[in-house]
């Protein structure tokens, strides 16, 4: 069931890209937040 409809493929690709970019953004956000917290904790430990 693979129709060669360019509009459907475009919409599907757009949604896939949006979900993919949201996941990447979430991962980057979590990592950067964790890194920031670690830096703050390191500064607190240094004091």
- In this predicted model, what pLDDT tens digit does every residue of 4-47 receive, in sequence order? 788 999 999 999 999 999 999 999 999 999 999 888 887 776 65
Domain ranges (residues) in the chain: 21-47
What DSSP state is assigned to residue 28?
Answer: H
Distance in angstroms (rounded) separating the CA atoms of residues 31 and 29: 6
Angle subtended at Cα 12 by Cα 30 and Cα 27, rounded to the nearest 5 degrees: 5
- State the greatest distance between any 2 C-alpha atoms of the chain, in Å, as a whole number: 64
The pLDDT value recorded for residue 31 is 94
Chain-centroid distance of CA 13 in Å reads 17
């Amino acid at each position: 069931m693979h129709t060669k409809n360019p509009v459907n493929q475009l919409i599907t690709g757009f949604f896939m890209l949006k979900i993919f970019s949201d996941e990447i953004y979430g991962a980057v956000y979590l990592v950067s937040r964790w890194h920031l917290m670690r830096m703050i904790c390191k500064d607190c430990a240094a004091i």
